[in-house]
Structure 1
Amino acid sequence: MTVPPNRVRAALITAFACNGLTMAAWVSRTPAIRDLTGSSTGDMGFIIAGMSVGSMVGIAVGGPYVARSGARSTIRTGMFSVAFGTVVVGIGAALGLGWLVALGLALLGFGLGSGEIALNVEGVALEQAVGRTVVPGLHGSYSLGLCLGALLGLAANAAALPVLAHLLATGALTAAATVWMVTSLRAGTGREPRAAESVPLRETVGGFLSVWRETRTLAIGVIVLGMALAEGSAGDWLPLIVVDGFGLTATTGSLVFAFFGAAMAAGRFAGGWFLDRYGRTPVMLTSAAAAVVGIALVSFAPGIGVAVVGVLLWGVGAALGFPVALSAAGDDPVGAARRVSAVATAGYAAFLVGPPVLGFIGEHTGLRSAILLVLVMVAVSGAFARAVARPSLQRTP
C-alpha cells in the first residue's frame, strides 16, 4: 500500500517531536537527578555517558538493521526503547541509584541512536520524493519537542513534581504515539535486498565501515562531530551551567534550556528556505560562526542576560549542522543507509566523548570554561563546510 507523503511527514514529525520531548524531560531534571543520586559534576559526566554508549551501540546496529529490515521496523524498536529507558531513568532517580540512571540512559540512547538512522533515511527518501528540503524541518520538530519538554520540565521543577512521575508520564506518551506512528510509515524504505537475503550480518557491518574510505563522507563526519557536540553539550550541560555557573535556580536553568530549544526549532524550520535559496555551504558557514559567537558569550558573559543572547545564537548556530550533514550523506540513494549511519556515528562519538570530557574539565575549571572546547570543535566544522555541497555543485579536483 502506498502511503501519501503528507502522512509519512506527519509520522516523522511525531517521532522527532517525541524524541525531543523525552530528551528535554530528562535534561530539565538533571539538577534534581544530580541531587537525588548524590553525584558530583564529574560523576554526572559518567552517568550521562551511559546515553552516549547506548547511542553508539544503537548507531552501530541501526544502519545494518535498516538495510536488512527497513526503516519502519528500526523506528518501532528504537521508539519503544526510548519510552522504556525514560521510565528506568525515573526509577533510578527515585531510588538514588546513579548506575540505574546510567542504564536507563543507555536504553534511551540506544533507541535514539538506532532510530536516528532510520528516521533520517525516511526523511531523505521523503525529501527526494517531494523534491524539496524537508529534513531540517523534521529536526525542527525535535527542537520544538525539546522546547515544549523544557517548559514542562520548568513547570515540574517549580511544582516540585517527583522525577519518577514526570518521566513515567513522558515514557507512556512516547509509547502511545509510537503505536500510531509506525502504521503511517512505508514498509521497505532503506531496505537493501542483498543485505536482507543472504549476506551475513558481519559482512553487512563491514560494508557500513567501508564508507569511511570516501573522502566526502569523512569530511562530512568531521562537520557533524563538531556540530553534534555543540547541540549535545547544551542538552547535557546547559541547565547545570545556569545553576552552577551563574548561581541561579533549577527552574531558571530549565527556562534557559527552553530558549535554546526554541532557537534550534526556529533555525531548523526556517533552514529549509535558506538552504534552497543560498545552498548548503554558505548556510553551514554562517551557522558555525553564529554558534562560535554564542558559545563565547555564554562562556564569558558577566551576567545571565548576555548569556541568554549567547544561548539563542548557540541554538540557531547548532540547528542545521546535524540535519544538513545527514542530508548530504544521503544524497546518493545507493548506500544512503550506510553513509547516514557513518555520519551519525561521528555525531554520537561526540556525544560519547563529550559528557565525561566536559565533566572532567568542568570539575577543575568550571563548566563555563569547559565549553570553550566545544567552540573550537565548531570552528573546525566550519572549515569543512564545502563538503556538504550537493555532489553536482562540487568541483572536481
Structure 2
Amino acid sequence: MDRRFATSVIFIGFFLLGMVFILWGVLLPDLAQSLAMTEVISGAFFTLISLGSIVGAFLGGKYIQKFDFMSLFASLSLLVALLLVALSSVNHWAWLLLGAFVLGLICSSLFTIGHTMIARLHAERRSTMMGLMDFMFSLGTLAVPFYISALYLLDHDWRWPLRWLAIAIALLAAYAWHVAHQSKKLRPKNTVKPQQSLSYAGVIKQPVFLFLALAALGYGAVEFGNVNWFVSYAQDGRGFSGEDARLVFAFFTAGMAISRLGFSSLLRWFSPHRLMMILASIMAIGTFMIKLAIEPQLMSLGNLLVGLGLGGLFPLILSSAMDIDSDNGPLISGVCVIGSSIGVQLASFGTGFWASFASLTTAFWVIPLGALWLWAMVWGYSRMLKTRANNSTEQCSNKLVENH
C-alpha cells in the first residue's frame, strides 16, 4: 500500500470525524429547542454515543485484523454519511438517541483503524505522525463553530450542517475505496495471510495498559465533557450569547490543534513521561479557570490551556503504548477508545443528571473533577513508563559490559 495515499485518507477522515464529534455539542441548544429535549435527554444522547463507541472499539480492536483496513474504512465512512442524512430528518428525539448509539459504534471502529494504520505505516516517526493525525481531528473541531456560524447566516436550521458534512464524508468514502482498490492491484498475489482475531486479556493484565485505560477515561471525561456542555454552560450559566459562547469555545479547539501540531517537537527537551505531566498540569489548571472565571477573556484563556494540555496528551500516551507492543495495536487503540468513551459517558450524562437537580453552573464541576482524575492517572502511567525506560537502559548497559 502506498503510504502517502493511505495517510491522506486517514488524515482527511480524522478531520471530518473531528467535525462529527464536536458538532453535537455546538448544536445542542438548537437541537434541544427543536426536539423538546430536557437536560437528561441531552445527557442520554451523549451517553449513547459513548456506549456505541465502547461496543465499536471492543469489536474493532478484536476483529478488524480480519479485514483489509482501507476497504473497511471506506465502507464505514459511507455508513456514517448515510446516518448523518438520516439524523438530519428526524422529528423526535427518540430517533436521535438511536442514531447516537449507531454513530458511536461506527466512528470508534474508524478511530481504531486510523490509529493502527498510522502506527504501522510510520513506525519510525510514530509519535509525530500520530500527533499530526490527531491534529487533523482537532482542526476539524476548530472548524465546527465557524462552519455552523457560516451556514446559519444562510439558514438557521441545525439540519443543514449535518447534510453538508454527510456529502463530504461520502466523497471521502469514494476516495478511500479507490485507494484500497489500487492497493489490491499492486499487491503481489498469494501474499495475503489469514488474520486471527486478537484477545484483550493479555493486554489489560499488564498494569501499564490498565493505567492507560484509566487515563483515557479521564481524558474522555474532560475533553468531551467540555465539548458537549461548554456552549450550553456559557449560555445558560453565564449569560453569554450563542455567538459569544461558540467563539470562547473556539479557543479550546485552537489549543488542541496547536498542541497536537507541536507537542512532538518538545520531545527534544523532555522525556515522554515528563512531557505527559507538564501537559496534564496545564490541562488541570485550565479546567478550574473555566469553572471559576466569569469574564469571557479568562474563560477563553482557560479553554486555551485545556486545549493545549489535552491536545498532545492523547497521541503521546497512545504512541508510548504502541512502542511497548505494536503488534497489539488494534487492542491498545481499542482500550484507549473504550476508556475514553466511558469517561465521555460519565461526564456527559453525569453533568446532565446533576443539572436536573441543581443548576448547570453547579453541574459543570464534573469537568474539573475529571481533570484531577486524569492528572492522577497520567502520573501513575508516566511512572511506569519511566521505570520501563530505566530498566531498558540498565539491560543495554549490562549487555555492553558482557560483550566487553
TM-score, normalised via structure 1 length = 0.88
* Residue 240 (structure 1) aligned with residue 232 (structure 2): yes
Match of 1:349 in 2: 342
Confirm whether residue 380 of structure 1 aligns to residue 372 of structure 2: no
CA distance in 1, matches of 2:386, 2:66: 27
Give the conservation status (yes or no) of the 8 Å contact 2:26–2:228. no
Q: Give deviations 1:202-241, integer Å, cap 9, x for gaps.
A: xx46x12442111111111122111222211122112112
Match for 2:95 among 95, 100, 108? Answer: 100
Amino acid of the residue matched to residue 25 of structure 1? Answer: L
1:83 alignment counterpart? 81
Counterpart position of 1:310: 302
Change (3 A) 1:208 1:193: farther
The aligned counterpart of 2:311 is 319
Given the alignment of the two structures, is residue 268 of structure 1 paired with residue 260 of structure 2, yes or no? yes
Counterpart CA distance in 2 for 1:383 and 1:192 is 42
Structure 2 distance, partners of 1:138, 1:327, is: 12
Residue 151, structure 1, aligned to residue 172, structure 2: no
Task: Identify the range of structure 1 (138-147 vs 249-258) with the bigger mean alpha-carbon deviation.
Answer: 249-258
Name which of structure 1's ranges 43-52 and 287-296 shifts more when overlaid on structure 2. 43-52
One-letter code aligned to 1:249: S
1:116 Cα offset (Å): 0.9
- Which amino acid letter does the alignment assign opposite residue 237 of structure 2? G
| 1:17 partner letter | F
Shift in Å, 1:171:
1.0
Q: What is the Cα deviation at residue 21 of structure 1?
A: 2.0
Tell whether 2:73 aligns with 1:71: no
Q: Which residue of 2 aligns with 1:122?
A: 117
* 2:221 is the counterpart of 1:229: yes
Question: Which position in structure 2 is the counterpart of 1:14?
Answer: 12
Paired residues, number = 382
1:88–1:49 distance in 2 versus 1, CA, 3 Å = farther
Structure 1 pair 310–277 and aligned structure 2 pair: CA distance change class (3 A) = same
Equivalent-residue separation in structure 1 for 2:286 and 2:153 (angstroms): 28
1:159-174 alignment to 2 at 5 Å? 159-174=154-169
Quote the residue 1:200 is aligned against: none
Instruction: Determine if contact 2:116/2:330 at 8 Å carries over to the other structure.
Output: yes
* Contact 2:51/2:345, CA 8 A, preserved across alignment: yes
Deviations 1:63-118 (A, max 9, x none): 123221143233223322322332233222xx1x1111112222221221111111
Write the mapping of 1:357-368 to structure 2, written as runs, cut at 5 A: 357-363=350-356, 364-366=358-360, 367-368=363-364
CA drift at 1:388: 7.4
Name the % identity: 18
Residue 18 of structure 1: CA displacement? 1.0
2:163 is equivalent to residue 177 of structure 1? no
Q: Which amino acid aligns with 1:10?
A: S
Separation of aligned partners in 2, 1:219 and 1:153? 37
Stretches of structure 2 lacking an aligned partner (at least 5 in a row) = 395-404
Deviates more, 1:284-293 or 1:223-232: 223-232
Larger radius of gyration: 2
Cα pair distance change 1:269/1:59, threshold 3 Å: same
Q: Which amino acid aligns with 2:349?
A: P
Could you tell me how far apart the structure 2 residues matched to 1:230 and 1:61 are? 25
1:9-88 → structure 2 map (5 Å cutoff): 9-88=7-86
TM-score by length of 2: 0.87
SS in 2 for 1:173: helix
Task: Give the distance between the partners of 2:69 and 2:31, measured in 1 at CA.
Answer: 34
**2:131 corresponds to 1:136:** yes
What letter is aligned with 1:50? L
Which has the larger displacement, 64-73 or 25-34? 64-73
CA distance in structure 1 between the aligned counterparts of 2:386 and 2:16, rounded to whole angstroms: 30
For 1:164-197, what per-residue CA distance to the aligned partner results, in whole angstroms no more than 9, with x for missing partners? Answer: 2221111111111221134336679xx995644x
- Correspondence 1:294 to 2:286: yes
Retained in 2: the 8 A contact 1:50–1:102? yes
Bigger CA drift: 11-20 or 21-30?
21-30
Distance (Å, rounded) in 1 between the aligned partners of 2:253 and 2:382: 27
Q: In structure 2, do the counterparts of structure 1 residues 34 and 158 end up closer, same or farther at CA, with 3 Å as the change threshold?
A: farther
User: Superposed, which structure 2 residues align to 1:274-289 within 5 Å?
Assistant: 274-289=266-281
- Counterpart-to-counterpart distance in 2, 1:387 and 1:160: 52
Structure 2 counterpart of 1:378, one-letter code = L
Is the Cα–Cα contact under 8 Å of residues 80 and 107 in structure 2 kept in the other structure? yes
Displacement of 1:257 after TM fit? 2.6
Q: Which amino acid aligns with 2:137?
A: Y
